Structure 1
């Protein structure tokens, strides 16, 4: 596995300027475009599906700040496992230390499985002057992490990072029965990746999971032993909660009670 080359924008990469261009199912999201990307008019591109999942920039910036402070300063690499069109990776790459001058992360790796989506992410990052500040990967983040922990020699040198000084940010798809309607969302039903799969892949490193705002906190709490702490933060836009992020410390062994 190696870093991705610069990918060209395709017919699946869109920058709509008029409501009439926008598919009916995306019109409400397009009307919120300046909340999602304040500099949308500079040429931000998104795929159709990305409108549903992109983290609004104010939320991404706040998450990046929290990740920078909650995660140990000894962690110098961060991996964005579901990069999408780049919203979170851009905020991570722009994050600074408290002095406001030093970059918080020595390396930001952003992984995306879909080529058109990654092309949008690379293009969007370039609008923020980040052409050389993010290492992009076109591929499966679970496969990358498996190689990183078991066969790092099969990775390109730029992707061989020290697990001990690396943190993970993951904003996975939220599909599954009850995601939009249940008062408390059962994370074992999240699709296509449930809580057990995500934590199983990430537990060797400190990680932050971007989850539905109604996620079952009891299930999250069971991921680590009782003597360890998980921080959970709700993130709001214009007074309405949009999502929660669970900041979970690394564990080397399965919790004795298992993953819910």
Structure 2
């Protein structure tokens, strides 16, 4: 009689997430009186954030502060449709409640979308919301983990990643809509991106490079700081995204390093 195998399946530092259940931190608020005072203004704009909100959209209280309004998310996804067709994988560094990820999935542009969220309850909301919007199962590979750790492994130690979330960096674009905490981003006429918290401009750029990446930033961000990130011989496109006549954010589209104008 043969002995039972003592071999173990390989372990990986980061793996795809399973379907997570909604928790007590996940809410579908229906009336203003249910909502904490500090998110009431966002709740009032809920149909601009998710037009299908009444179909059963769930969010954590923290997620209200960072979600991209749906018209802006759709516009960004449409603009990113024009990126070099050889780029077939999109990594969304900060999934949040799923606004951008859902727009990317519904655009049909990407063969693979890898969407990362550090908070389990927020990720559960994002997965649920993608289902509400009719995103095809398997169109998004969700990751519960730290996006900086993921990108570092992807670039330097891909064997540490589960095969389902490995990607060819030459064919990958990174989208980052980070938290905007920090002094002055709401009030400064020109916002110093070194004050962005908890991740500043240099940290975000270093994590995404050398891949092509798009950074979703405050509307008053210092363009001079962004311009310094341009690879030699290249330019950075910066787009202001407006809704109802008011700018909501800017996106800096940063080319990959190592590609010259003659190559494009």
Partner of 2:93: 81
Partner of 1:52: 65
CA distance, structure 2, for counterparts of residue 132 and residue 158 of structure 1: 11
Q: Within 5 Å, which residues of 2 pair with 1:175-214?
A: 175-214=181-220
Residue 115 of structure 2 corresponds to residue 110 of structure 1: yes
Which consecutive segments of 4 or more residues in structure 1 shift more than 6 A?
none
2:115 aligned counterpart, secondary structure: strand
Match of 2:233 among 223, 227, 236: 227
The count of aligned residue pairs is 245
Q: Within 5 Å, which residues of 2 pair with 1:97-246?
A: 103-130=108-135, 131-225=137-231, 227-246=233-252
CA distance, structure 2, for counterparts of residue 181 and residue 17 of structure 1: 31
CA distance, structure 2, for counterparts of residue 139 and residue 165 of structure 1: 22
Match of 1:67 among 67, 80, 93: 80
CA distance, structure 1, for counterparts of residue 188 and residue 46 of structure 2: 27
Structure with larger Rg: 2
CA distance, structure 2, for counterparts of residue 230 and residue 7 of structure 1: 38
For the structure 1 residues 211 and 168, does the alpha-carbon distance in structure 2 shift closer, same or farther, using more than 3 Å as the test?
Answer: same
Tell me if structure 2 keeps the 8 A contact 1:203–1:252.
Answer: no
User: CA offset at residue 15 of structure 1?
Assistant: 0.2
User: CA offset at residue 225 of structure 1?
Assistant: 3.7
CA distance, structure 1, for counterparts of residue 220 and residue 18 of structure 2: 38
User: CA offset at residue 128 of structure 1?
Assistant: 1.6
2:81 aligned counterpart, secondary structure: helix
CA distance, structure 1, for counterparts of residue 199 and residue 182 of structure 2: 9
RMSD: 1.1
User: CA offset at residue 252 of structure 1?
Assistant: 4.7
Partner of 1:90: 102
Partner of 1:98: none
Per the normalisation by structure 2, the TM-score is 0.91
